[in-house]
Amino acid sequence: MDRLPTPLPNPASPLRLDRALQLLAQSGQPAPPGEVGSAAWLQGVIDALVELSSRDALTGLANRRSFDLALDIDHFKRVNDRYGHIAGDAVIQAVAAALLDSVRPMDLVARIGGEEFAIILPSCASAFGETVAERIRRRVERMPVTVGAGQQITVSVSVGGAFAPQWVRSTPALWAERADQQLYRAKAMGRNLVQLEPAAVSIVSTEEKRLLFDSTGFQDFE
């Protein structure tokens, strides 16, 4: 008598989802809206878990710093000019895949321009942020990209990074600007480099002071 094949484990099994929903319920967060098991619903669960992991359970405040990386493909215009826009698209897709493969599931990778990317690493220590940035740079540098009729080329990236300490009231735009400043430094120093904002230097901008004092009622008497 033939034996039936053993079913493969489902990575999105009900047991794991039940555990995820239990964690959300314990933190006071409702289950995401939508059809249970749909792609949109599962993404809602993931987003809620990411938010939960970066918040203090008692107060709801951010419990650790975040790290923001800005990344640019070096000399991308040369790729388009020499090999064509189809090759340029292949390079962008290859770099995007490398980025996703170099970060944690909870991290956010986004394409914010033609050849520009941003990565947010929540609950990230400074040493880990530097490790991730260098891992990405080396991975892209060593990665052959197939363009045209089987021809392979290599590209590099410049990376800039900024920290977002939990005690600074800021905005995503301000921290993105700081990461961009470090990216410009990396490009000015020759490209294919990582330049990070020093973790020990926490410069509070005028805008951040305004956000702080406007929300607390205090005034800056400097």
Calpha distance 173→109 (Å, rounded): 16
Of the candidates 35, 115, 141, 207, the residue annotated as catalytic is: 115
Give residue for tokens 């990575």.
Answer: 11
Which two three-digit tokens encode residue 111? 């394409």
Q: Is 177 a catalytic residue?
A: no
Which two three-digit tokens encode residue 127? 């040493």
- Phi first, then psi: give them for residue 147, nearest 5 degrees: -130, 150
Which two three-digit tokens encode residue 194? 């990582």
CA distances from 182 to 102, 159, 165, 205, 217 (A): 20, 8, 17, 16, 33
Beta bridge partners of 158: 72
Beta bridge partners of 144: 154
Calpha distance 219→222 (Å, rounded): 9
Choose among 62, 44, 43: nearest CA to 53: 62
Calpha distance 186→157 (Å, rounded): 9
Choose among 113, 150, 125, 142: nearest CA to 200: 125
**Catalytic positions, written as ranges:** 115
